[in-house]
A and B are shown apart, each in its own frame.
Chain A
Amino acid sequence: MPHAHPKTSVAERVFDANEALAQSNREKFDHAGTFAINLMSSPGAGKTTILERTFERLNGELRFGVLEGDVQTTLDADRLERFHIPITQVNTDPGFGGECHLDANMVRYGLRDLPLHEIDTLIIENVGNLVCPAEFTVGEDRRVMVFSVTEGEDKPLKYPLMFRSVDLILINKVDLLPHLEFDLALLKRNVEIVHPDVEVILMSARTGEGVEEWCSWLLAQRTALVS
């Protein structure tokens, strides 16, 4: 049957609204001289432990701030409290269930509670999830993913959008490798297939392996952006 109703052209991208808000966040970061990292991973990959190691090493040298996204609880924010750095929590749960990612609007809301002019490096700790955070930019300068070796070598092929969207992959929990049947070379091949030449750092937040390399990356990226 022919369409009886006139067609109205729209040609509007679904993510335009998020992009506009991300741009507004980016302008706030630029104005304050803040370097912003969007830190993403599956649940339990070790994001908060990595932040603890990072702050032990660099707090003082850099003036950090943290925007925590969690579906529920303030447990992650509580663990970081001892560093006395500005932390705000955006609980994405308006009832039960909650959001699976931070979007630009949620970050904009969280930024109200942070003294950005006192923060030169802001870590946006996203909700643990390999699918949804990949779709949304929030105004960040760099996108970093934590992947732990307990998750399986096939994950780059199963979640390519996330692996393709990041500037750096921290492969965490490598201290567990002797106890696992995990093929690190296969993981690296799969990463290379979906995102050729992406930077990768092997790390154990528990033993401290790779922490120095990650901190150097952070300092270098920040310096490159500011200068």
Chain B
Amino acid sequence: MCCDTESTNCVQGIPLMHELGIAASVVEIVCRHAEGRRVTRIELKIGQLRQIIPATLAFNFELVAQGTVAEGAELDLESIPALGLCAGCGTETELHAFPFQCAQCGCFDLRIVAGEELQVESIECCEESDNAPRPSENVCC
């Protein structure tokens, strides 16, 4: 059974694939914080080390937001560059490719301090909720 949250993740009968599962989590978080208000804009931070394709996430978001207060909301995706902190000299280096290497001393022993984010930062909502659709009861992930 599809929307048995005990057994499997799915939304409105659609099995979830990576970005789709992530989009469903975003919708769940957003709907919880919206408290019934219609959402107009969502700020989402995505670290560059995440294997997320923004266009796929945006498409999947449109799909799973249907019938919820997040339907039609603008998705504002902020890409966060990868940063490594050198264990040797303490310098922070912006990382663009493998191998991860300190730009200052050449050391490979770096701790990732940014670039792994995947976070709903904020939402903007209409205060009048009279005409807003009710959150779908099918969102279950």
Contact = CB atoms under 8 A, between A and B. Distances in A.
A23 to B, nearest CB: 17
Contacts of A106: 7-9
B108 A5 contact: no
B99 A196 contact: yes
A17 B28 contact: yes
B88 to A, nearest CB: 14
A183 interface: no
Contact of B22 (A12, A14, A95): A14
B131 interface: no
Given A6-B125, A105-B5, A157-B98, A98 B15 contact: yes
A219 interface: no
Nearest to A160: B98
A103 interface: yes
B108 A7 contact: no
A8 B16 contact: no
Contacts of B127: 5-6
Interface of A: 3, 5-15, 17-18, 92-95, 97-101, 103, 105-106, 109, 131-132, 134-135, 157, 159-161, 192-194, 196
B8 A14 contact: no
Nearest to B4: A94
Most chain A Cβ neighbours within 10 Å, of B2, B21, B118: B21
25 contacts: A5-B127, A8-B34, A8-B124, A12-B33, A13-B117, A14-B119, A17-B25, A92-B8, A92-B15, A93-B15, A94-B1, A94-B10, A97-B15, A98-B15, A99-B21, A103-B21, A105-B9, A109-B6, A132-B17, A132-B21, A135-B50, A135-B51, A161-B49, A193-B99, A196-B108
Nearest to A156: B98
A174 B29 CA distance: 46
B139 interface: no
A164 to B, nearest CB: 8
B108 A11 contact: no
B123 interface: yes
B28 A99 contact: no
B138 to A, nearest CB: 13
Contact of A10 (B7, B13, B29, B49): B29
A98 B18 CA distance: 11
Contacts of B126: 5
Contacts of A94: 1-2, 7-8, 10, 15
B26 A14 contact: yes
B33 A99 contact: no
A5 B29 CA distance: 19
Nearest 6 Cβ contacts at the A-B interface? A5-B124, A193-B99, A132-B18, A14-B118, A10-B120, A193-B98
